[in-house]
Amino acid sequence: MLAHPRPAWRTRAVPVVAVVATVLVLAMCTVGASGPATRIIPPLIGGAAAAAVFWAVRRWRADRADYERRLTEWAATEAVLEERLRIARDMHDLVSHGLGLITVRAASTRHLPKPPEVGAALADIEEASRHATAELRRMLTVLREPGTAGPRTPLESLDALPEIVRAAEAAGLRPRLVCEPLGEVTQGVQVAICKTVREGLSNAARHAGPCDVLARVHRDGRFVVVSVADRGPATPGWRAVPGAGHGLAGLRERVAGLSGTLSAEPVEGGFRLTARIPDETCP
């Protein structure tokens, strides 16, 4: 689902170069002519052509820089929109699961003895939750791109953290996971925790290469804090392979959607990614 079409490469230098080439061809036609004009016009044309070519080169470079800037902005916007779509899908799964439980529990009381007004209220609850689930499904269908309505994987939970760390080991990192007792954590926050750890490890692999990385998850009052920190390249001569930064943009969008904050900063020769996410289950 694209907000804007991909920027097209255009430059105003090409028409100018074409005009200059045409003028030069016409000037060549004057070769062999005689008179004062033949001593004045060719230098004038040559000087104008040189100036036009100089302008065209500068114009081409400026247009190219502007195109690269617009392309970068477009890619960043697309990354944020893609992450918003993932958030919408995750929200659908979370809410529809809760509504499904409400529907089942309300329906399970249908044949139990109860006052008429209680039975009517439970019937209304069951019907309202069924309608809400149907609307959620319909809205998610609108958000999906054509051809992406296939089966979906379950939402990630804190149980996925060890597997995320093992995948980072396969990429050459030496990660260590410290997950302190968190108590009850909402599903949306668990998804954000997993994505933060994955993004932090991915950034470490690109920027620091094979190195020691500490991923820590702990609670700070009503906040769940996730940090992924490395100490910089451990291999002499390592050259960073930075990405476009769109992963951080999408992650910041997700964390902000949970009323949290995301910081990414150099520290102790390395880099640290930290997310502070409020958990509504906390007192």
**AA letter at 249:** A
pLDDT given for residue 177 in this prediction: 95
pTM score > 0.85 for this model?
no
Contact residues for 186 (Cβ-Cβ < 8 A; gap 6+): 279, 280, 281
Average pLDDT, the chain: 77
pLDDT of residue 213: 92
Beta-carbon contacts of residue 4 (< 8 Å; ≥ 6 apart) = 74, 77
Quick: pLDDT tens for 64-83: 888 788 777 777 777 777 77
* Strand boundaries in the chain, DSSP class E: 174-179, 212-220, 223-230, 261-267, 270-278
- In the block, which residue shows the tokens 């930290």? 274
In angstroms, the first-to-last Cα distance of the chain is: 39
Q: What is the pLDDT of residue 132?
A: 78
Contacts of 5 (CB under 8 A, 6+ apart): none
What are the CA-CA distances from residue 208 to residues 127, 187, 231, 242, 251 (Å)?
Answer: 55, 31, 8, 10, 20
- pLDDT for the residue 96: 65
Contact present, 78 and 145 (Cβ < 8 Å):
no
For residues 184 and 257, is the Cβ–Cβ distance under 8 A?
A: no
Q: What is the pLDDT of residues 40-54, one digit of tens each?
A: 666 666 677 777 777
In this structure, the strands spanning 212-220 and 223-230 are: antiparallel
